[in-house]
Structure 1
Amino acid sequence: MTYLSIALKAVAALLVAGTALPLIETNLGFVRSLDFPRLQIAVALAACILALLWVSRDATAVILAIVMAAALVMQVRYILPFTPLAATQAKSAQACEPGARLNLLVLNVLQSNRDFGAALDLVTRRSPDIVLLLETDTGWRDAMAPLRALYPHRVEQPQDNTYGLLFYSRLPLRGPEIRFLLQDDVPSLRTQVMLPDGGTATLYGLHPRPPHPGQSSAPRDAELVIVAREVAKAKGPTIVAGDLNDVAWSRTTQLFQSISGLLDPRQGRGLFATFHAQWPMMRWPLDHVFFSEHFLLGGMERLPDIGSDHFPISVSLCAAPSAPARQDKPEADAEDHRDAQEAIEAAR
């Protein structure tokens, strides 16, 4: 047995373990973070299968190749709904009256990134109706002061712990509030937005803590479930935006959708991977805009890098009376409701 064969078999075992571990029901950050690189693991599995069978075809190699093939199928099943090969969940607006259109821009600026001008230029150039900036400290708040002349309605919660947020809106707000749902240093936003057509929508801006080795996923999971329950109870036009520190295909995000009934514009269109902007081989979709069936999708775009570790994400929505009839929103079953309750209890 050559050293290369031994090395490939070791890699194969690690890739299979990386596929199997997220199946365990646990809040351990190390395990939950393996939800993120499913595309990368899938590519590595395919390459390892070919390489292993090229250098060795003994019984161990063949068995590992078969197991890796099964792991590859599993990974692809997670990713496939977020490619153009799948059906879209949020339907596209064929046309949209100007008064019904709503443009949003979401950007995790990276608190240590001090290229304020690039972010400011992006917002002024794109001129969205609503801007949500995350990881913003007082330096970012002061640098974004020129936006106050363009956006008369705003909520500013700068913090120096990478969980500050700045929210700017051309549209009037009703009852905006900063909330600390689970942790007293992790804020979130909830506000009513007066839409151009005279209607209103509830908007949530979120940025829960991510899971990583040594950090439980329980607070993130519970925060998403709490918001999902609020959305389901209110039932009206709703938008949830932000850096959710979770990927679109994870069980937590799927549970969030099932409970809330919100639509994911990525499904059937593409990954729109927003993190990590500087590491092309290690990217996954962390920044999201979910919305209720009252909206159709006008467009979704990942914007160029502005010095952060996240790409900005731009979404255009169209409030249309016909939208609910055209779209099937996710529905929760008894198991989903049970999992949601368990997620909240785990965070307590």
Structure 2
Amino acid sequence: MTYLSTALKVVAALLATATFLPLIPTNLGFVRSLDFPRLQIAVALVGCIVALLAISRDASALVLSAAMLAALALQASHILPFTPLAATQAKAADTCDAGDRGSLLVLNVLQSNRDYAVALDLIERQSPDIVLLLETDAGWQSAMAPLRVRYPNQVEQPQDNTYGLLFYSRLPLRDPTIRFLLQEDVPSLRTTIVLPGGEAVTFHGLHPRPPHPGHSSAPRDAELVMVAKEVAKTKGPTIVAGDLNDVAWSRTNQLFQNLSGLLDPRQGRGLFSTFHAQYPVARWPLDHVFFSEHFLLADMQRLGDIGSDHFPISVSLCRAPHAPARQDAPEASKEDHRDAREAIEAVQ
């Protein structure tokens, strides 16, 4: 029992440390990666608290249990906004005219995945207005050629470094541009999409590099801040989508929303965890669709496995004149603007 108690105390200390470390303002990849498994850490905390108190009530066990309860409360504060227990941030559309509705499919295909037919079948069945495919190389570009018939407007940037992107739209595009905002081998897309009713919507497709042990989060954070500030200046209807390599509850994501004023349809609805498709116990929300207050949410789904390590995510939006009156767009504070400056300075 002594050995088990000691082992549980070590685990308790590690779980508490893993919870509180991300509070440190740092770009260290190891620390920032701990933002990702908050749900998994929360579940482990519950189990460890119950197990430790069941076999030990000495002073150190009680202190560690109190620390774990505090850690659990902190983890819950991050996760609960992305459950049905919280209020929705992006409101649902009751009805939507065809000319005001647009649908988007985002899919990180996993570059080494060669189940091209599965992806094509999914796109055909879903029939979205626009498709954003990430981690696409020349093989994926060639395999997606049939899409060019149904989607006459394309932007293709295949790359063999897992950061290629392919974009297909049945809606007209204006000034589509591939940009390399911070790193010369990590592209992003900016374009204007014309809705069936004739209104122009600014679209950003992103896939920044992730933080991980030994790799700083600074480039990812700075790219998100740069796009957020650009969105804030645009002011019109806007959509930002992609594999952001960041979880919905992170400080960087909150900063992105506050600076851009964009809404997250996950809030009040669910996690919609898209990664890792093959490992249910290690799964969190990495693929995102944010949109401005000009839209209401018509539908949102996490779709099935297509052989990638990511699940596809599908979102349908309704452009509604009354939408801004129904929704409260996030706003940036002085601290947010300070953090944004520091994020950009960190990569200069």
TM-score range (shorter-chain normalised) is over 0.9
Name 1:205's counterpart in structure 2: 205
Aligned to 2:336: 336
**Counterpart residue number, 1:84:** 84
Match of 1:72 in 2: 72
Q: Distance in 2 between matches of 1:146 and 1:318?
A: 28
Deviation of residue 55 (structure 1)?
Answer: 1.2
Give the paired residue count: 348
Q: Does 1:185 align with 2:192?
A: no
Determine if the alignment matches structure 1 residue 100 to structure 2 residue 100. yes
Matched, 1:136 2:156: no
* Partner SS, residue 178 of structure 2: strand
Q: Give the SS at the match of 1:105.
A: strand
5+ residue gaps, structure 2, are: none
Residue 346 of structure 2 aligns to a residue in which SS? helix
Q: Kindly report the root-mean-square deviation, in angstroms, between the aligned alpha carbons of the 2 structures.
A: 0.5
User: How big is the shift at 1:27?
Assistant: 0.2
Aligned residue runs from structure 1 range 244-323, under 5 A: 244-323=244-323
Amino acid aligned to 1:70:
A
Q: CA deviation at 1:2?
A: 1.2
State the AA in 1 paired with 2:236: G
Q: Secondary structure at the match of 1:162?
A: coil
Distance 2:276 2:110 in 1: 11
The CA deviation at 1:119 is 0.5
- Give the structure-1-normalised TM-score: 1.00
1:171 paired to 2:160: no
Shift of 1:197: 1.0
Displacement after TM superposition at 1:56 (Å): 1.0
User: SS where residue 288 of structure 2 aligns?
Assistant: strand
Q: Gaps (5+ residues) in structure 1?
A: none
Structure-2 separation of matches of 1:33 and 1:299: 30
Deviations 1:70-114 (A, max 9, x none): 100000000010000000000000000011110000000000001
Offset of residue 253 of structure 1 = 0.3
Mapped partners of 1:68, 1:237: distance in 2: 43
CA apart distance, 1:222? 0.3
Structure-2 separation of matches of 1:31 and 1:235: 34
SS, match of residue 347 in structure 1: coil
Equivalent runs, 1:145-156 vs 2, <5 Å: 145-156=145-156
Provide the residue aligned with 2:236 in structure 1.
236
Deviations 1:121-176 (A, max 9, x none): 10011100000000000000000000000100000000000000000000000000
The one-letter amino acid paired with 1:87 is A
Instruction: Answer yes or no: is 1:324 the counterpart of 2:324.
Output: yes
2:122 is equivalent to residue 122 of structure 1? yes
Partners of 2:137 and 2:161 lie apart in 1 by 8
After TM superposition, the runs of 4+ consecutive aligned structure 1 residues lying more than 6 A away are: none
Counterpart Cα distance in 1 of 2:255 and 2:289: 16
Counterpart Cα distance in 1 of 2:141 and 2:2: 58
Provide the secondary structure at the position in 1 that maps to 2:34: helix
Q: Give how far 1:347 is off.
A: 1.4
Once residues 55 and 200 of structure 1 are traced to their aligned partners in structure 2, the CA distance between those partners, rounded to angstroms, is: 63
Distance 1:56 1:150 in 2: 65
Determine the structure 2 residue equivalent to 1:22: 22
SS in 1 for 2:290: strand
Letter in 2 for 1:334: K
CA distance in 1, matches of 2:3, 2:274: 38
Give, as a single letter, the amino acid of the residue that structure 1 aligns with 2:303.
Answer: L
1:215 aligns with 2:215: yes
The reply on whether 1:2 has 2:9 as its aligned counterpart is no
